[in-house]
Amino acid sequence: MALLTIKNLTVSFDTSTGPFMAVKGIDLAIEKREVLAIVGESGSGKSVAMLAVMGLLPNTATVTADVMEFEGINLLTQTPSQRREIIGRDIAMIFQEPIASLNPCFSVGFQLMETLRQHTSLSASERETRAVELLTLVGIPDPKARLNAYPHQMSGGQCQRVMIAIAISCNPKLLIADEPTTALDVTIQKQILDLLMRLQAEHGMGLIMITHDMGVVAETADRVIVQYKGQKMEEADVLTLFENPASNYTRALLSALPENAVGDRLPTVADFMAKQNAEAMQ
Amino acid sequence: MSEIVLETRNVTRDYHAGGGLFSKAKTIRALKGIDLTLEKGKTLAIVGESGCGKSTLARILTLIDAPTSGELLIDGQKVDIAKDGLTRDMRQKVQIIFQNPYGSLNPRQKIGDVLGEPLLLNTKLSANERRDRAMQMLVKVGLGPEHYNRYPHMLSGGQRQRIAIARALMLNPSLLVLDEPVSALDLSVQAQILNLLKDLQDEFNLTYVFISHDLSVVKYFADDVMVMYFGEVVEYGSRETVFANPQHSYTKTLFAATPNASVDAIKARLARKRAAA
């Protein structure tokens, strides 16, 4: 059975100029132990679709779907308190800005143990042991002392490690990583991606990577969904996607990579789509 | 040999930190003797991780900070802002474009005023002439005169970066410092901005100092590459030599860390994964 199944998901936002459809009918399924990448430009609705799964969208959003199931539990009909049982324990999420997603007023140890207090029956001392264990697992040096550190005392890469520690604290079955390395340097990006892939393999988690970086997709994914303006353009396993992309949009995206540059200028997605449209008109 | 626009000789920069009631003052040497030369119409890429001193160097090149020691020559002229201050001519010669186009534009200033202000402060042009220049520049960077009266929030990230480029070009600078100009942008917009920068370089024979940590962009964009590590230059040469034969261990780490989107690399990774399972 698939871990998460979504069929025909739509999300629309009420705006002053009428409803705006951010996600227009997305189908998605992820198996246990699978790494699925969702690729798209900003505004393609990739984050919004996952926030809908987490139930983190604001009140102005309307979410509809034919099916939205996590391990056979229907997420659509759940009350907020029922959903909170699952969110954070079985499904966890990592966000793009590590420094912004930690609370600056509390120590990282407090924030790490808060999740454990919420979702487990561990005692205070057991929670502390577990927190030290988690910080060791994500590779933070001197974890015991670091429990008392505040986010501003750590670097961006370390904050992202703490975020990952919080996300995996209750051994989630599904981890959603929303652009986890966009704000980081390449060398740190490599470390964080290696860490995520190691944890995914060790714990047998399902992992959804939301990203706009084709390099990150190539380094991590088993299967890829390409999204554009709220619609799915293509779904394929990672090798097929890079070797033999089916949709024009994917081809345009791949040709815009600087390492694939032919000649002096880069082909842009806009040019590519315009050319396609012109050919279709004829 | 063509004209040299930028030259630094043994530039260092110290920062002083601490020195309170109970602690002794510490001196941090952020730049440890930087030598570089850059010819007109070329692009020099500066690569390094955060904290390696590339932004400190950018601040010195753009005459925001004075170096602690060493010489800085722009257009063959020696510049020492610590001693002589900064003249109006000097300020026009070097311009900078920042990483975040959302943060570098004043949200309450119209695009027309953003572009007109450098002319207002540095030239004696009349309001009409300033307006004409701004209109021409908008067209040059791929926008239209209709954007003249808009505010930054009405534009997308890529359009805002175009405005930042237009503003930097208003005074015909001889040197443009680009501080991670595309790292906040999407892949497709990144391609558009890089193309625009190349077009403008061809048209005005501009000289770029391009600061980045994305090696795939650097490989595509730069003529010369300089790799910095803890305030020191660990590798400096033409793009071909640095990419073909990296010498320093840090450069090798950097190459290894850059994601590889080639089909062979994916095949190798999938094979490794199957072997581990």
Residue of A nearest to B157 (CA): A42
User: Is the Cβ of B234 closer than 8 Å to some Cβ of chain A?
Assistant: no
pLDDT of residue B12: 92
- Give domain status of residue B191, yes or no: yes
Selected residue with higher pLDDT from B172 and A270: B172
| CB-CB neighbors (< 8 A) of A188 in chain B | 49
Residue B98 tokens read as 């920042």
User: Is the Cβ of A265 closer than 8 Å to some Cβ of chain B?
Assistant: yes
CB contact under 8 A, A268 and B267: no
3-state secondary structure of B263: helix
Q: Mean pLDDT over residues A147-167, rounded? A: 90
Predicted confidence band of residue B95 (pLDDT cuts 50, 70, 90)? very high
| High-pLDDT (> 90) share of chain A, % | 51
The distance in angstroms from the start CA to the end CA of chain B is 58
Predicted confidence band of residue B1 (pLDDT cuts 50, 70, 90)? low
Predicted confidence band of residue A36 (pLDDT cuts 50, 70, 90)? very high
pLDDT of residue A262: 67
pLDDT of residue B113: 93
DSSP B245: S
Domain span including residue B46: 39-62+82-276
Alpha carbons A159 and A209: distance in angstroms, whole number: 18
- Give domain status of residue B123, yes or no: yes
| CB-CB neighbors (< 8 A) of B194 in chain A | 258, 266
- Give domain status of residue B256, yes or no: yes
Residue A41 has pLDDT above 90, yes or no: no
B149 to chain A nearest CA, in Å? 22
A173 to chain B nearest CA, in Å? 18
- Give domain status of residue B11, yes or no: no
Q: Between helices A156-168 and A108-119, what is the axis angle to 10°?
A: 10
- Give domain status of residue B44, yes or no: yes
For β-strands A4-15 and A61-64, DSSP reports them as antiparallel
Q: What is the pLDDT of residues A204-234, one digit of tens each?
A: 899 999 998 888 999 999 999 999 888 999 9
- Give domain status of residue B31, yes or no: no
User: Is the Cβ of B258 closer than 8 Å to some Cβ of chain A?
Assistant: yes
pLDDT of residue A123: 94
Phi and psi angles of residue A246, each rounded to the nearest 5 degrees, phi first: -85, -40
Q: Mean pLDDT over residues B97-111, rounded? A: 88
Give strand pairing partners of B79. B72
| CB-CB neighbors (< 8 A) of B215 in chain A | 186
- Give domain status of residue B222, yes or no: yes
CB contact under 8 A, B256 and A239: no
Residue A151 tokens read as 């986010």
| CB-CB neighbors (< 8 A) of A258 in chain B | 190-191, 194, 216-217, 219-221
Q: What is the pLDDT of residues B209-241, one digit of tens each?
A: 999 888 888 988 999 999 998 889 999 999 999
Alpha carbons A68 and A8: distance in angstroms, whole number: 9
- Give domain status of residue B135, yes or no: yes
* Mean per-residue pLDDT over chain B, rounded: 88
Residue A106 has pLDDT above 70, yes or no: yes
- CA A78, A84, A86, A88 dihedral sign is positive
Q: What is the pLDDT of residues A187-201, one digit of tens each?
A: 888 888 999 999 999
CB contact under 8 A, A270 and B256: no
A243 to chain B nearest CA, in Å? 6
Q: What is the pLDDT of residues A246-266, one digit of tens each?
A: 988 888 888 888 877 766 777
The total number of structural domains that make up chain B: 1
- What radius of gyration, in Å, describes the C-alpha atoms of chain B? 21
Quick check: A148 and A107 in contact, CB under 8 A? yes
Q: Mean pLDDT over residues A102-113, rounded? A: 94
Q: For the domain that residue B142 is a member of, what is the CATH number?
A: 3.40.50.300
B80 to chain A nearest CA, in Å? 33
A37 to chain B nearest CA, in Å? 14
